[in-house]
Structure 1
Amino acid sequence: MDHDKLSTVMRELALRAGETIMDIYRADDFEVKVKSDESPVTEADEAADAVISAGLRAAFPDVLLVTEEQAASHDKTGETFLIVDPLDGTKEFINRRGDFTVNIAYVESGVPVRGIVYAPAKERMFYTLPDGSAIEEEGPFDPVRPGATRPIRVTEANNDALMVVASKSHLTDETRDYIAKYAVKEFKSAGSSLKLCLVATGEADLYPRVGPTMEWDTAAGHAVLLGAGGQVVRFDDHRPLRYGKPGYLNPYFIAHAPSVALKPA
């Protein structure tokens, strides 16, 4: 893989998809449908997917592409592939809460090594550079010319006063019970893959997910967190979370700064 090209293409496509999403978000009304799994999908999901998929297939025709909005791609498996969630946080989008993101990642040998997370309504964008390190770019954003950036790094956690982030729309009793095992100084909720990025920037130390997610939900944020020195491990045994699983379904997981003393499940 040409990582210089990959970084440029992913950034441009994420921004162009974000523009498409925001055009629909600002409209007086937009279409919402229900998929076979009972989850909602909007015209913004589909329009953003069209932008990203066309761009990735043109740039990397020989690389497997898995995207949430194309069910046929879910039957294909491999250890190395591109994976896309064109609009993560559809419920946040529908309710106009702003916590939704564009997610594009590249998985190599089961590990998400490159990725971009763009939150167009919040004007925040996080991504990996060609060397794998993670940065946040400051807006306003131009698809062709990158703006000012800053490197991001996980915090050195104080285990007596942890900063914890969890899901805004999917905060389960099991998640609350697990968080209660820690000494928590600050708790915040956020939608979509932004939670992984908040750990990457040091705005949170710990993000436990005791609930179902798909690989396209997490791969881009996972790549950003790895690039910032963080980790994502399975909830049950704290082994690294791997990608390319059958059906692309994740087990429960914990994203954290390495300095967090993890509690058992």
Structure 2
Amino acid sequence: MSIHIRVVTPVVPTGLTKASDFEGILSSSDRVTFTEIENGPASVKTAFDAMAAAPDVVAKIIEAEEIGADAVVIDCMEEPGLQPGRECVSIPVLGPCQTVMGIACNLGHRFSILAVAPNMRVLFENKARISAAWEKYASTRSVDIAVANLAAEPQLLKENLLEQAMLAIEIDAADTLILGCTGMIDVAQWLQQRLHDAGQPVPVLDPMPLTIRIAKVLAQSGVSHSKAAYPSLARRQLRGYENSTLKKFST
């Protein structure tokens, strides 16, 4: 059974996200396609950015179901549009932050997140509470590199990740680590190996590949989010969405 996972990147096109970012995650018989939004922020760093991205993200989630995708993954740790998106479709819709926190809770006793900026701490603390992962949350540490510069400064990213990872382990007592940005491409295995070489046998979780694989398992198993928790929407009065996919819910 071939599975189609649709990735929704909740930013306007900037060239930072490429189809090649998702190659090799699933088997060759499966498909991982991605789309970006037309209206919204260039990056998601604040609650305001997430709010601005959400309407187009939800529209893209609806479109994914309409084109026959088996599941949707939102390509951002802020997970804009996750809850309303689940109300609009029946296929699984996953966000990488809540998904990978659940995995971290199963793999260890305390997890830390390696974020791009110090101000992301509040976001991850809130996500840990929402995900029922607060009791195992150890800390958020920052590499202090802008999202737009992650691909341009790979060596600096690796150096800062290793430094902050060691601090999370030695000071915060973390035994499991999560990369705090989906734009940290192809560094999880490198970091995990460097930590193992230094005598720190902790797993490093890369949110997007793990979430895409979990989405495949859910789709194959015929399991999706609970419609008791995320009831399907009835039509309602909506203004200003005449040219949006959201108009399907308008009276």
Q: TM-score, normalised by structure 1?
A: 0.30
Select the structure of larger CA radius of gyration. Answer: 2
With the length of structure 2 as denominator, give the TM-score of the two structures. 0.32
User: Which has a greater percent of helix?
Assistant: 2
Q: Which has the higher contact order (CA 8 A, sep 6+)?
A: 2
